[in-house]
C-alpha cells in the first residue's frame, strides 16, 4: 500500500499527519509513504527527522484582501499542481490525505483530478481557505469539531477527531516531573504559549508571582525559547519557589499524564491532547490567527464547562491565578472539569481516519 500525505505551515497541521502515519504503519509495517510539503516549511525538518520520504513544491497562501501577490499565488498554485502530478504519477499512491495548510491545495487538487481517492482533515472548528476550496473535489472531509460541519458539503463530512489524540493516549508510561525539581504528589499546573511562547501569557505569569507563593499547587512554566532570557531576568529575585521555569519542553506528551491543569493557547493540537487525557484548562486564544479560529476552538470546550477562557485583551496575573484557584483549589471542580473535558475527546481518532481511507479506496 502507498499513501501520499501533505500538510504544513504549523505543527497543528503536521503532527496529526505524523500520528496518522504511525497508525497506518502499526497496521501495515510494509506501507510506503510520500510526504509533500514546502522546502522552507516546518514540515520538511520534522518529516525528514521521522525518516519519511519528502518532496517539495513552491506555494504561498492567498491574501484575504485584494492584492497583486494573489496573482503570483495563482501562478504558483498551477505550477504546484503540475509538480504534484509528476510526483503522484511516479509514486502511484492508493490514497492521498491532506491535513491542512496551503501546501495541501495543489497536492490534493492534483490527486483528485487524477482520480486518486482523497481526504482532507480539518483540525479547527473554523476551516481555512484551502480546505474549503478542496472540499469540492475530495471524496471525504474529516473534522474534529462539530462546529466545522456546516462549512463543508454535508454528504462528505465524517467526524473523526484529531489523530494527535490517539498518539497521546498511546503513551503508557509518562515521564516524571521530578526531573525538573517538582514534587511527585502535588497538584501541578503546566503553563505554555506554544513553541515560540506568548509574551502576554509570560507577562501575566510574571505578575502573579507574589500570589503564587502562597498557593498549595506547583507550576511548570514554559516561556518559549525566544522569551526565556528576558523572562528569567525579570523573575530574578521574585520567582515563586513552587514554580520551575524552562524555555522549551521536548516530548511534551510524555509529561502530560502528570499534569492536573493546563494554561495554553487554543490550537487544535492542544485541544486534541487535553480532551484525550481529560485535563482541565485555562485557554487563552491567540487573536493573531486566521479568522480568530482559536477563540471558536476554545468556546467549543467552555460551552461544555470543560475549560475557562480568558481573552488576551483581558489577561492579567490577577485573573490568571484566580482562574487557576477556581479549578485547582476545588477537588470537585477539578474532577468535574476533567470528566467533561474527556467526554469531548476522541482517543481513537487515528483509527477513524484510517477507516475512512480504507472505505474510499474500495
CB 47 within 8 A of CB 18: yes
Residues 331 and 249 in one domain: yes
The pLDDT confidence band at residue 172, using thresholds 50, 70 and 90, is: confident
Q: What is the DSSP letter of 140?
A: E
- 107 backbone dihedrals φ, ψ, rounded to 5°: -65, -55
61 known member of a binding site: no
What's the confidence (pLDDT) of residue 74?
A: 81
11 is in an annotated binding site: yes
Residue 88: the pLDDT is 98
| Domain shared by 284 and 356, yes or no | no
Asked whether the predicted pLDDT for residue 195 surpasses 80, the reply is no
Residues 189 and 298 in one domain: yes
- State the total domains in the chain: 2
**Confidence grade of residue 1 (pLDDT, cut at 50, 70, 90):** very high
- Asked if the model's pLDDT at residue 264 lies above 80, the reply is yes
- Mean pLDDT within 270-279: 95
Those residues whose C-beta lies under 8 Å from the C-beta of residue 289, and which sit 6 or more positions away, are none
pLDDT exceeding 70 applies to what percent of the chain? 96
Cα 189 from Cα 280, distance rounded (Å)? 10
Q: Does residue 151 sit in the same domain as residue 13?
A: yes
Residues 340 and 352 reside in one and the same domain: no
285 and 176, same structural domain?
Answer: yes
10 is in an annotated binding site: yes
Q: In this structure, what C-alpha cell is assigned to residue 69?
A: 501577490
**Sheet containing 243-246: which strands, arranged edge to edge?**
243-246, 218-222, 188-192, 261-264, 281-283, 307-309
CA distances from 51 to 19, 33, 46, 47, 264 (A): 14, 10, 9, 7, 30
158 and 176, same domain (yes or no):
no
- Summary count for the chain: helices (H), strands (E): 14, 13
| Among candidate residues 35, 28, 44, 27, the one with its CA nearest the CA of residue 6 | 35
**What is the widest separation between alpha-carbon atoms in the chain?**
65
| Positive/negative CA dihedral, 163, 354, 22, 86 | negative
How high is the mean pLDDT of the chain? 93
Clarify whether residues 113 and 212 are in a common domain. no
Report helix, strand or coil for 99: coil
| pLDDT single digits (tens) 314-334 | 999 999 999 999 999 999 999
d(CA 347, CA 74): 38
Cα radius of gyration rounded to whole Å, the chain: 21
Show Cβ contacts of residue 168 under 8 Å, excluding neighbours closer than 6 positions. 253, 256, 272, 273, 276, 277
pLDDT at 62: 58
Least trusted range by pLDDT, from 184-198, 236-250, 345-359: 184-198
Are residues 210 and 296 part of one domain? yes
| Domain interval for residue 18 | 2-162+348-361
Q: Are residues 210 and 138 in the same domain?
A: no
Residue found by looking up cell 521521522 in the block: 50
Look at 76 and 143; give whichever has higher pLDDT. Answer: 143
Per-residue pLDDT tens over the stretch 56-72: 998 876 555 555 566 67
Residue 127 confidence (pLDDT) above 60 = yes
Does the annotation list 292 as a binding residue?
no
User: Are 60 and 41 contacting, i.e. CB atoms less than 8 angstroms apart?
Assistant: no
**pTM, to two decimals:** 0.87
Give tens-digit pLDDT for 211-230: 999 999 999 999 988 899 99
One domain, residues 352 and 311: no
CA distance 204 to 175: 28
Burial 102-127 (b: 16+ CB within 10 A, else e): bbbbbbbbbbbeeebbbbbbbbbbbb
Same domain, 48 and 157: yes
Does the annotation list 12 as a binding residue? yes
Percent of the residues in the chain that have a pLDDT greater than 90, as a whole number: 80
CATH number at residue 158: 3.40.50.2000
Amino acid at each position: 500500500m502507498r499513501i501520499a500525505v501533505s500538510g504544513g505551515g504549523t505543527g497543528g497541521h503536521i503532527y496529526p499527519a505524523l500520528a496518522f502515519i504511525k497508525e497506518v504503519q502499526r497496521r501495515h509495517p510494509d506501507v510506503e509513504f510520500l510526504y509533500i510539503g514546502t522546502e522552507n516549511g516546518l514540515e520538511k525538518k520534522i518529516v525528514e527527522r521521522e525518516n519519511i520520504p519528502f518532496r517539495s513544491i513552491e506555494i504561498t497562501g492567498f491574501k484575504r484582501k485584494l492584492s497583486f501577490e494573489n496573482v503570483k499565488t495563482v501562478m504558483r498554485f498551477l505550477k504546484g499542481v503540475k509538480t504534484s502530478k509528476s510526483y503522484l504519477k511516479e509514486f502511484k499512491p492508493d490514497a492521498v490525505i491532506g491535513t491542512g495548510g496551503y501546501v495541501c491545495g495543489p497536492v490534493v487538487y492534483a490527486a483528485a483530478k487524477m482520480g486518486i481517492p482523497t481526504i482532507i482533515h480539518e483540525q479547527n472548528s473554523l476551516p481555512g481557505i484551502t480546505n474549503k476550496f478542496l472540499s469540492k473535489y475530495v471524496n471525504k472531509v474529516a473534522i474534529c469539531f462539530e462546529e466545522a460541519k456546516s462549512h463543508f458539503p454535508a454528504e462528505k463530512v465524517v467526524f473523526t477527531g484529531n489523530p494527535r489524540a490517539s498518539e497521546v493516549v498511546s503513551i503508557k508510561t509518562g515521564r516524571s516531573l521530578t526531573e525538573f525539581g517538582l514534587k511527585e504528589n502535588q497538584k501541578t499546573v503546566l503553563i505554555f504559549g506554544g513553541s515560540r511562547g506568548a509574551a502576554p501569557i509570560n507577562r501575566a505569569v510574571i505578575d502573579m508571582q507574589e500570589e503564587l507563593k502562597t498557593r498549595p499547587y506547583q507550576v511548570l512554566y514554559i516561556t518559549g525559547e525566544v522569551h526565556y532570557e528576558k523572562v528569567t531576568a525579570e523573575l530574578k529575585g521574585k520567582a515563586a519557589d513552587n514554580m520551575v521555569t524552562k524555555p522549551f519542553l521536548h516530548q511534551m506528551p510524555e509529561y502530560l499524564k502528570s499534569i492536573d491543569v493546563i494554561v495554553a493557547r487554543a490550537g487544535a493540537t492542544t485541544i486534541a491532547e487535553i480532551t484525550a487525557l481529560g485535563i482541565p484548562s485555562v485557554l487563552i486564544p491567540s487573536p493573531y490567527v486566521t479568522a480568530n479560529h482559536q477563540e471558536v476552538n476554545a468556546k467549543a470546550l467552555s460551552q461544555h464547562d470543560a475549560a475557562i477562557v480568558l481573552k488576551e485583551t483581558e489577561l492579567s496575573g490577577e485573573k490568571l491565578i484566580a482562574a487557576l484557584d477556581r479549578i485547582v483549589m476545588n477537588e470537585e471542580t477539578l474532577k468535574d472539569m476533567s470528566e467533561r473535558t474527556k467526554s469531548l475527546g476522541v482517543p481513537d481518532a487515528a483509527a477513524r481516519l484510517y477507516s475512512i481511507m480504507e472505505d474510499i479506496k474500495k
